[in-house]
Amino acid sequence: MSAVVTVRGLNVAYGTLEVVKGVDLDVAQGEKVVIMGPSGSGKSTFLRSLIWLVKPKSGKIVIDGIEVAQQTLMDVRKRVGFVFQHYNLFPHLKVIDNIVLPLVKVHGLPRGEAVQRAREALQLVGLADKERAYPLQLSGGQQQRAAIARAIAIRPKVLMLDEPTSALDPELVEEVLRVLEDIARRGTTMLIVTHEIDFALDVADRVVFFEGGKIVEEGPPDILYNPKTDRFRQFLRRLHRRTS
Amino acid sequence: MALENYFDALLSVVGGIPTTMALALLSFAIGMGLGSILLLVRFFLPKPLSWFASAYVEAFRGTPLLVQIFIIYFGVGGFLKDYGINIDPFTAGVIALGLNSAAYQAEIFRSAVQAIPVEQYLTAEAYAFGKTQTFRYIILPQALRIALPALMNEMVLLIKDSSLVSVIGVTPPDIFRRADYYASRHFTYFEAYLAAATIYFIICYAMVKISHVIERKYAIPGYLRRGII
Ligand SMILES: Nc1ncnc2c1ncn2[C@@H]1O[C@H](COP(=O)(O)OP(=O)(O)O)[C@@H](O)[C@H]1O
Ligand SMILES: [Mg+2]
């Protein structure tokens, strides 16, 4: 299987604070990779640096066969759907226009076609009846589903999600996870930062444990039952105590 | 104080409304045009140029409006007169108020743009919007809504500040200058200036009410605001 995302020797820093330290990662076509790790371990920074929202200090990133560089940046970003922890919808635009705007202005689709695609995406996330609502009129779960619709409407080669459910009230987490499971089943390549163990067990092909800006352990979802390293074991135990 | 004198003064002073409103509206438009340019310079152009924009803003904010009016009318106007160009008091007044308002409106725009969460920029970047597109479709529409109350307030300030232009003898006379005339003709200072204050208040109060309506109309739906009376 060909890799959609290839990362080699990635280093990212904020000034002198080194946050990502020499990470290597491959994500194959259709693969679902779940990233876990303690708060502050650099997961968000890692994900953001893949499309240069934070510019890496060194390393090589290839996405869909294109090496990320200044000249290829826009091209690469067009192939990535990004979902943020706090949804980040554009509050002044209706839900449908949040999805249509990048399709028309960035991807150059005719408006009619963009609206069509936006409606399909909204259908998929169960928000067909909310297309004319404004983001701030929706619940957190609905906003996040709208943000997911915005991401999948561009038909990304890879979907990157940074803790998509961790800003949500507990009773709203499930509706978002169900949508993500649906999308996963459709064969979309996904790179997800999440601490939802059950979701990882159901959906992930591989789980990556991040700590101190490094990948400490990785493997099939089974490692969630049987972690090899003490650090991952401790992390999971703490996570378990928090959620049960 | 005689009530009939007050009403008589009111009738006379009302005639100054067109000049006052013309001064305020024209200078507001100039301020908005130049203020927007200053914002664009600060948003898009490199540091040294944006420093010029900031210097402009500080120069006009840091000196009294009356002094600016005198510099434009007597200073620049006097200089141009040597070259056969005459600037009448009204034009000088509009230019001075407009240049001054540009500085304040540039600040209003700047703080509105800065009030937009950095996550909005990040999202625009992630979705491959260019800098111009980000500004046009994501930042500007939100910034204008944020700026609206302050812009309406600036309009009210201009209506009041336009009274300063009367000292260079603006014609036709504005509200304040008409009150001045009336007072010195009838020796009824209190009534005349109270009449002027009344008219300014009515206009400004109406502007505030109108601005609330506009703010509500353009508010981002779902954006909760605290009800502060
Ligand atoms: N914009 C930033 N500027 C400076 N430091 C940052 C910034 N964002 C994150 N950090 C720091 O980088 C480290 C990793 O943060 P982050 O990538 O958000 O971790 P995680 O997503 O795993 O919680 C933390 O120490 C955090 O304080
Ligand atoms: Mg994070």
User: A84-98 pLDDT, tens per residue?
Assistant: 999 999 999 999 999
Rounded Cα distance between A185 and A180, Å, is: 9
B223 vs A53: CB contact, 8 Å cut-off?
no
pLDDT grade for B2, boundaries at 50, 70 and 90: confident
Q: Determine the pLDDT at residue B223.
A: 78
CA angle B207, B162, B228 (to 5 degrees): 30
CB nearest to A53's CB, from B120, B122, B221: B122
Neighbours of B61 (CB within 10 A): 12
Rounded Cα distance between B27 and A107, Å, is: 41
Q: How far is the CA of A53 from the centre of ligand 2 (A)?
A: 14
CA angle B198, B202, B208 (to 5 degrees): 140
CB nearest to B221's CB, from A102, A106, A137: A137
Computed over every residue of chain A, the mean pLDDT equals 96
Q: Determine the pLDDT at residue A244.
A: 63
Section A41-70 average pLDDT: 98
- What the block records as the tokens of A164 is 């998509």
Rounded Cα distance between B65 and B162, Å, is: 10
Tens of pLDDT, residues A110-152:
999 999 999 999 999 999 999 999 999 999 999 999 999 999 9
CB nearest to B126's CB, from A51, A92, A134: A51
Over pLDDT 90: what percentage of chain A?
A: 97
- What the block records as the tokens of B51 is 């420093």
A91 contacts on B by Cβ (under 8 Å): 142, 220, 222-223
User: pTM surpassing 0.90?
Assistant: yes
Tens of pLDDT, residues B66-122:
999 999 999 999 999 999 999 999 999 999 999 999 999 999 999 999 999 999 999
Given the CA of residue A210, which atom of ligand 1 is nearest to it? 22
Given the CA of residue A41, which atom of ligand 1 is nearest to it? 22
Check whether A83 has a pLDDT greater than 80: yes
Q: Determine the pLDDT at residue A77.
A: 98
Residue A53, amino acid: L
Check whether A181 has a pLDDT greater than 70: yes
Contact A77, B126 (CB under 8 A): yes
Tens of pLDDT, residues B26-63:
999 999 999 999 999 999 999 888 999 999 999 999 99
Q: Determine the pLDDT at residue A2.
A: 84
B128 vs A90: CB contact, 8 Å cut-off?
no
Q: Determine the pLDDT at residue A241.
A: 85
Q: How far is the CA of A54 from the centre of ligand 1 (A)?
A: 11
Would an 8 Å CB–CB cutoff place A1 in contact with chain B? no
Name the phi and psi angles at A160, rounded to 5.
Answer: -110, 125
- What the block records as the tokens of A203 is 């959906």
A51 vs B120: CB contact, 8 Å cut-off?
no
A88 vs B130: CB contact, 8 Å cut-off?
no
Q: How far is the CA of A35 from the centre of ligand 1 (A)?
A: 16
Section A210-228 average pLDDT: 96
CB nearest to A136's CB, from B128, B133, B220: B220
A77 contacts on B by Cβ (under 8 Å): 125-128
Report all structural domains of chain B as residue ranges with CATH numbers, in order of start: 3-218 (1.10.3720.10)
Three-state DSSP at A148 gives: helix
Three-state DSSP at A135 gives: helix
Q: Determine the pLDDT at residue B229.
A: 45
- Report CA Rg, chain A: 18
A88 vs B120: CB contact, 8 Å cut-off?
yes
The C-alpha torsion from A13 through A15 and A18 to A24, rounded to 10°, is 20
A105 vs B137: CB contact, 8 Å cut-off?
yes
Report all structural domains of chain A as residue ranges with CATH numbers, in order of start: 3-79+158-243 (3.40.50.300), 90-155 (no CATH)
Would an 8 Å CB–CB cutoff place A158 in contact with chain B? no
Q: Determine the pLDDT at residue B225.
A: 58
Q: A133, A146, A145, A140: which is closest to A93 by C-alpha? A: A133
